[in-house]
Amino acid sequence: MFVKRVGMLALLSVLLINNGMAKDGMWIPYLISQLNEGEMQDMGMQLSAEDIYSVNHSSLKDAIVHFNGGCTAQLISAKGLLLTNHHCGYSQIQSHSSVEKDYLKNGFWAMNGKEELRNKKLTAAIVKYMKDVTNEVLEGVNSQMSPEERAASVAANIKKLIAANQDEYKLEVKPFFFGNQYILIAKEVFRDVRLVGAPPSSIGKYGSDTDNWVWPRHTGDFSIFRVYANAQNKPADVSDDNVPYTPNQFLKVNIGGVQNGDFTMVYGFPGTTDEYLPSNEVQNIMEVYDPMRIAIRDEIIAVLDKKMRTDDATRIKYASKYARVSNAWKKWSGEIVGLRATRALEKKQAFEAEFEKAILADPKLSAQYQSVLPNLKNMYEDRKEILTERHAFVEGLYFGVEMFRNMLSYRTLVEAYESSDSTFEEMAANKAKALSGFYKNYDSELDEKVMEKLLPIYLSYINHQPLPDIIDKLKKGTSEEVSLYVKEVFSTMALSNSEDWINLLQNKPSKAIKILKNSAAYNFSTAAFNHFVEVINPEYRSYMGLIENSQREYLKALQAVLPNKRFYPDANSTLRVSYGKVDGYQARDAVNYFSHTYLEGVVAKYKPADYEFDLPQKLIDLYETKDYGPYAEKGKMPVCFIASNHTTGGNSGSPVLNAKGELIGLNFDRTWEGTMSDYNFDEKRCRNIMVDLRYVLFIVDKFAGAGYLVNEMELVSDRATLVEEKAPALEMAQ
């Protein structure tokens, strides 16, 4: 029996860790000493786990920053200098831009502290400590509880716990492994974070949507901020009295370069992954959810693209909307390709068969866990219908049709009117003011075309009773009738002429409300939204609770059946470490990618005046004269590189560190063929994409002339000298 079990476990481990070598995982920093240190050192790391995370003395963790709760950033000088992606600082850069001072287009560089730009509501959070609080959080919780009862007990315990631990830091408690474990995280949150520098979009967003998710990549996706603190070096509101923050630790920058096979480590705040889904849900993603969401966005993209290509004004208005629509759309299609290519489904199925066999072979395990996986699979199957409808609503109306969200934004105003709220007129005036922002980037003709494409798709999926009359009627109608209805919606929107509408709302609000309430636009939007809120979402949420319970049991079972395997929790926007090595990959048959790109490649993609591939003349000049300072490698200017670190959204702006913990890259994307790493990491094809730090320094120093910032940093190099090497002849065919 014993022997048999061990044999089974060995087999399982092989299946689980993908031929024994995959270094997947986003690891909890304080557990690295137990789980990963040895392996990381075997891969070349010269640090100890204590250097990475320590609560007793300063460690690399003190330099890692959660940037505004979404992206990651890192401290790179003793004076609070903070590095993140251009796309992470985008809205701050945009908020300081105007037609006269177009920082998005031309870049921005503060040449001294006084020129740095202050931001409203921008935070930089540093983790002070993390501790396991599972026992406290699960006190009084038992497996008989319904998901709602459990959630209520957990929430009450967390509240108590936070009140009892209150100190100077911001505390949060997060579930790991679907609530098998809870960790308390204390963060110091800085509130005065100023913009120091950003390259022009033609560098920071070079390649834009065409190159997004794609390797080879040539984007200098970085921006620079500075964290400010009060005289005691503590967080404070934005103020003249603040001074640059002195970090406990900041990252040294290594400009010695990286080679294939070098150890790399990513330290940051990955957002969400789903590594422990059962095979049938992976199949649903591949065959149902991703394809339907892609199909909906195909329609949006086709409509937008057509007009954006022929009309400059539309292109400018819709650039950022288009980027948002196309980002996930492109990722999903890569996900399907990657899941197929790595036979993810077959792998999961084979693993599950072995897992079930191992459980059956052991009476104790079977008594406890026999029904766990079948239950989990059933939950996902049962949820399928409602999740499909939910996607149809969210993608097909809520995010797809701009008119829809705009109409919903009037709901509180209409309520105020109906309840004779005394603040109604003021609310209407405020709404009128806010609307100019909406119209600035809105084209109702385009939106109407989108709705004409999306409404039939939405209707084809929506079934859950009771259906609002209008939706029922449209579902039964012919396609001509649906099309006519879209025309009616847009003709009654009262908004096509935005100025008239804003005037009306400001000057005769009660008349405006009457028009609104009688419009097909408002009525359709409220009907579909109410159906979502009252019918679709409650059912969806009840499944979420049940699935959470089942996944929790499944993880417990996995750990019991495979006691020797290391498990990492799914990403949940908490601090994690991933590690891998610099490496190219085979994208498909006969297509092999190198691990580095160079300025040659940037220039080769140059298309003058193109909105994605234009370049600043100064960069071209620097390229022509090979004026690279100490940042070149054998006369060539490195730009981006890839490595096999397991990352996801939220890792944008994460530092990529070498074996000594020195900064070598700035993470900003993944390769298209490997975006399925959120469900199934595969070392052979999953790569994260980084800007080479030498390109960052070159742009700051040589392009922007802000070398004073480089002087603030601590540069190190593995090479004997930093003397500029002579440029060799161009290797690349132009």
- Please, which residues have CB within 8 angstroms of residue 487's CB and are 6 or more apart in sequence? 448
Main-chain dihedrals φ then ψ at residue 261, nearest 5 degrees? 90, -10
Distance CA 62, CA 78 (A): 12
Tell which one of 68, 74, 84, 648 touches ligand GLU (CB under 6 A).
648
For this structure, is 87 an active site residue? yes
State the binding partner of 644 from ligand ARG, ligand GLU, none, CB within 5 to 8 A by kind: none
State the binding partner of 329 from ligand GLU, ligand ARG, none, CB within 5 to 8 A by kind: none
Q: How many CB atoms lie within 10 A of CB 20?
A: 8
Q: Closer to ligand GLU at the Cβ: 551 or 647? A: 647
Is 669 a binding residue for ligand ARG by CB under 6 A? The answer is yes
State the binding partner of 648 from ligand ARG, ligand GLU, none, CB within 5 to 8 A by kind: ligand GLU
Tell which one of 92, 652, 658, 671 touches ligand GLU (CB under 6 A).
652
Q: Least CB distance from residue 24 to ligand ARG, whole Å? A: 19
Looking at the DSSP assignment, which residues form a beta bridge with residue 669? 689
Is 264 a binding residue for ligand GLU by CB under 6 A? The answer is no
Distance CA 138, CA 122 (A): 34
Q: Pick the stretch among 258-266, 361-369, 456-464, 662-670 that binds ligand GLU (CB under 6 A).
A: 662-670
- Please, which residues have CB within 8 angstroms of residue 469's CB and are 6 or more apart in sequence? 527
Q: Least CB distance from residue 167 to ligand ARG, whole Å? A: 34
Distance CA 96, CA 108 (A): 10
State the binding partner of 290 from ligand ARG, ligand GLU, none, CB within 5 to 8 A by kind: none
Asked if 377 and 280 touch (Cβ cutoff 8 Å), the reply is yes
Q: Pick the stretch among 254-262, 379-387, 488-496, 645-653 that binds ligand GLU (CB under 6 A).
A: 645-653
Is 333 a binding residue for ligand GLU by CB under 6 A? The answer is no
Q: Least CB distance from residue 212 to ligand ARG, whole Å? A: 4
What mask, x for binding ligand GLU by CB under 6 A, covers residues 668 to 707?
xxx-------------------------------------
Burial of 578 (0-12, 13-18, 19+ CB in 10 A): buried
Angle between helices 509-517 and 411-418 (to 10 degrees): 110
Please spell the DSSP secondary structure of 45-80, one letter per residue.
----HHHH--SSS--GGGGEEEETTTEEEEE-STT-
Angle between helices 498-507 and 509-517 (to 10 degrees): 120
For this structure, is 583 an active site residue? no
Q: Least CB distance from residue 301 to ligand GLU, whole Å? A: 19
For this structure, is 221 an active site residue? yes
Asked if 61 and 129 touch (Cβ cutoff 8 Å), the reply is no
Of 316-335, binders to ligand ARG (CB under 6 A) are: 323, 327
Q: How many CB atoms lie within 10 A of CB 86?
A: 28
Single out the catalytic residue among 59, 202, 333, 652: 652
Of 508-537, binders to ligand GLU (CB under 6 A) are: none
Please spell the DSSP secondary structure of 119-145, one letter per residue.
-TT--EEEEEEEEE-HHHHTTT--TTS
Q: Least CB distance from residue 670 to ligand GLU, whole Å? A: 4
What mask, x for binding ligand ARG by CB under 6 A, covers residues 632 to 661?
-----------------x--x---------
Distance CA 641, CA 625 (A): 23
Q: How many CB atoms lie within 10 A of CB 536?
A: 20
Tell which one of 651, 658, 671, 680 touches ligand GLU (CB under 6 A).
651
Q: How far apart are the first and last CA of the chain?
A: 67
State the binding partner of 209 from ligand GLU, ligand ARG, none, CB within 5 to 8 A by kind: ligand ARG
Angle, vertex CA 340, rays to CA 339 and CA 344, nearest 5: 55
Is 650 a binding residue for ligand GLU by CB under 6 A? The answer is yes
Angle, vertex CA 195, rays to CA 194 and CA 196, nearest 5: 110
Length of the chain: 734
Structure tokens at 38: 């040895």
Written in H, E and C, the secondary structure of 390-406 is: HHHHHHHHHCCCHHHHH
Q: Least CB distance from residue 327 to ligand ARG, whole Å? A: 5
Of 60-99, binders to ligand ARG (CB under 6 A) are: 87
Residue 98, SS3?
Answer: coil
Structure tokens at 24: 């997947």
State the binding partner of 650 from ligand GLU, ligand ARG, none, CB within 5 to 8 A by kind: ligand GLU
Q: Closer to ligand GLU at the Cβ: 25 or 396? A: 25
Q: Least CB distance from residue 15 to ligand ARG, whole Å? A: 30
Q: Closer to ligand GLU at the Cβ: 455 or 657? A: 657
Q: Least CB distance from residue 323 to ligand GLU, whole Å? A: 11
* Pick from 269, 243, 245: nearest CA to 29: 269
Is 201 a binding residue for ligand ARG by CB under 6 A? The answer is no
Binding site for ligand GLU (CB under 6 A): 647-652, 668-670
Binding site for ligand ARG (CB under 6 A): 87, 208-209, 212-213, 323, 327, 649, 652, 669
Q: Which residues are catalytic?
A: 87, 221, 652
